[in-house]
Amino acid sequence: MLEAQARIRTALASPAPDHRASGPDRERFADLMGRVADAQDRDAFAELFAYYAPRVKGFLMRIGAGEALAEEIAQEVMITVWRKAALFDRTQASVSTWIFRIARNRRIDAARRANKPELRADEPGLAPEPQIAPDEQLSAAEREGAVREALKDLPPEQYALLQAAFYEGLSHSEIAAREGIPLGTVKSRIRLAFGRLRAKLDGDV
Amino acid sequence: MSPAVDQVALAEALNAAYAAGALERPLALLAETRAAMGAVPARDLALSEAVAVAAFEAQRPAPLARDALERVLALAAVAGQERPAARFESDDSDPIWREVQALPGPTRAAAQAALRAGKWGGGLGVKALPLMEVDGCRAELLRIEPGHGAPRHSHEGAEYTLVLTGAFDDGLSRYIAGDIAVAGPRVTHRPIAEPGAVCYALAVTDAPLRFTGALGLLQSFLRH
């Protein structure tokens, strides 16, 4: 409960990210990952670091980590990016998705380490098996591009609720408390917004 | 009787918590496994994750310490790099092993890893393979033969049971492949596999006290 309140306070204190900004150059970033894996290319890594490390740290602070812990974990995440670069498969995920998976794997780890410093988490989801046949599936890049386009069309209040649930990881009741709207409204708005994204993606297939 | 828990709402809550990284690893395994069981659940989990990643890319950057890149490169040089693991050696003469091969990918991979270190336990008609435990949150793979049931049990935390193959009835509701049964703390129940196919299920028991995440996000689905 205390942690949830801390997260809500933190979220209130920081402005919503601008989801309308264009994303990184996905092909280039995937190439950079290849250079890190194949040639231990430090320049390629430095470019990835410049884009991702501050976002990882920002994410961790947004969900309630203190500055020092966020810095420490962001550095650990980037070490993991170097160490596991060969597991990155550009046909399965974008670099953003892959690095965000590492960062979010540390999320609960961060909460736990505030209490028990010796514990570490494993790294799920970095080399996942294809979940459905490739010909039935939008490529990771196509899906992310389509979601980005669809998010632009959502009303800002619906986008804010999606972000609270899917990025910050707040429960519907925590969102209702933060936004000062009834629980039922939170549930129906999230379902409506998610339904719009779904319809947009299915329409594009 | 159909499941008492609203499966759509439960899946939505699981997917959102998974995308944000708010689930302990055993519950994340359950979310991944459920997604691997069909095109629609897979699409919904991928969509949930894509929403999180879009927000991540739009995240306002927080600058790192001036020497952070140097430090990371120095530590990375010591740590070296990992290469993809070799495929697990299979034992196709074992019929249970062949059944495990047919399970949804994420649970199959966890079962293969578990079988390197441990083995099946359990008694007549019911086998259990511990898959992972993180800070009191446990996942195990259950293999229940038709007409048999998991031993009557209760638990201090919540229990989420995803049916992988076959079907079971816990005395209150019937659950088929893809359904998740949810039992709150102190509920005593006994799932029994239906006649016909062997029932495989992924059972995740949450710890009674949590620092964050799963219980808070999912507690509205608990049956008391």
| A200: CATH | 1.10.10.10
Q: What is the maximal distance between C-alpha atoms in chain B?
A: 65
Summarised one tens digit per residue, pLDDT across range B188-207 is 667 899 998 999 999 998 76
DSSP state of B222: -
Summarised one tens digit per residue, pLDDT across range A143-199 is 777 888 888 889 988 999 999 999 999 989 999 999 999 999 999 999 999 999 988
Same domain, A82 and A21: yes
Same domain, A143 and A99: no
Q: Do B58 and A45 touch (CB under 8 A)?
A: no
Summarised one tens digit per residue, pLDDT across range B127-166 is 999 999 887 889 999 999 999 987 666 566 788 999 999 9
Find which of B14, B15, B72 to mutate to test the A interface (most A CBs within 10 Å of its CB): B72
Structural domain total, chain A:
2
pLDDT, mean of residues A87-96? 91
Please state the separation of Cα A38 from the chain's center in Å: 26
What SS3 class is residue B129?
strand
Residue A52 CB neighbour total at 10 angstroms: 27
Same domain, A121 and A139: no
Question: Taking a C-beta distance cutoff of 8 angstroms, is the pair B8, B21 a contact?
Answer: no
Q: What strand order describes the sheet that includes B192-193? A: B174-176, B167-169, B192-193
pLDDT value, residue A113: 67
Which chain B residue's Cα is nearest to A39? B81
CB burial readout B55-93, b (16+ within 10 A) else e: bbbbbeebebeeebbeebbeebeeeeebeeeeeeeeeee
Locate A149 and state its tokens: 């386009």
- d(Cα B78, Cα A197) in Å, to the nearest integer? 44
Query: Chain A contacts of B57, Cβ < 8 Å?
Result: 21, 23-24, 55, 96
pLDDT category at B167 given cuts 50, 70, 90 is: very high
Same domain, A161 and A74: no
- d(Cα A27, Cα B49) in Å, to the nearest integer? 19
Domain residues for the domain of A79 are 1-129
Instruction: Write a three-state SS string for chain A.
Output: CHHHHHHHHHHHHCCCCCCCCCCCCHHHHHHHHHHHHHHCCHHHHHHHHHHHHHHHHHHHHHCCCCHHHHHHHHHHHHHHHHHCHHHCCCCCCCHHHHHHHHHHHHHHHHHHHCCCCCCCCCCCCCCCCCCCCHHHCCCHHHHHHHHHHHHHCCCHHHHHHHHHHHCCCCCHHHHHHHHCCCHHHHHHHHHHHHHHHHHHHHHHC
Question: Taking a C-beta distance cutoff of 8 angstroms, is the pair B214, B167 a contact?
Answer: no
Q: Which amino acid is at A17?
A: P
ipTM beyond cut 0.90:
no
Rounded to the nearest 10 degrees, the angle between the axes of helix B25-35 and helix B7-20 is 120
Residue A51, CA atoms < 13 Å, CB-side half-sphere: 21
User: For chain B, what is the mean pLDDT?
Assistant: 84
- Where is the domain boundary, A129, A164, A197? A129
Q: Do B20 and A169 touch (CB under 8 A)?
A: yes
pLDDT value, residue A65: 87
For domain B7-60+84-221, the CATH superfamily is Jelly Rolls (2.60.120.10)
Q: Do A131 and B36 touch (CB under 8 A)?
A: yes
Query: Chain A contacts of B50, Cβ < 8 Å?
Result: 97, 143-144, 147
What part of A 157-186 touches B (C-beta under 8 Å)?
A: 162-163, 165-169, 171-174
CB proximity A69 to B under 8 Å: no
What part of A 33-62 touches B (C-beta under 8 Å)?
A: 37, 40, 42, 45-46, 49, 53-55, 57-59, 61-62
- Where is the domain boundary, A73, A96, A129? A129
Query: Chain A contacts of B84, Cβ < 8 Å?
Result: 86-87, 127
- Where is the domain boundary, A90, A106, A129? A129
DSSP state of B219: G
Same domain, A100 and A144: no
pLDDT category at A39 given cuts 50, 70, 90 is: very high
Write the residue in A74, A172, A201 that is nearest to B64 by C-beta: A74
Same domain, A104 and A199: no
Which chain B residue's Cα is nearest to A123? B25
CB proximity A75 to B under 8 Å: yes
Percent of chain B with pLDDT over 70: 82
DSSP line for B182-198? EE-TT--B--EEPSSSP
In sequence order, the 6+-apart residues with CB closer than 8 A to the CB of B5 are B180, B181, B182, B221, B223
Locate B143 and state its tokens: 């293999």
Same domain, A67 and A138: no
Residue B6 CB neighbour total at 10 angstroms: 13
DSSP state of B220: G
Q: Do A79 and B79 touch (CB under 8 A)?
A: yes
- Is the pLDDT reported for residue A129 higher than 50? no
Which chain B residue's Cα is nearest to A50? B69
CB burial readout A73-107, b (16+ within 10 A) else e: bbbbbbbbbbbbbbbbbbebbbbbbbbbbbbbbbb
Strand partners, B200: B143, B165
Per-domain residue ranges of chain B:
7-60+84-221
Which chain B residue's Cα is nearest to A106? B21
**How far off is chain B from A173, nearest CA to CA, in Å?**
9
**How far off is chain A from B191, nearest CA to CA, in Å?**
28
Write the residue in A37, A75, A108 that is nearest to B72 by C-beta: A75
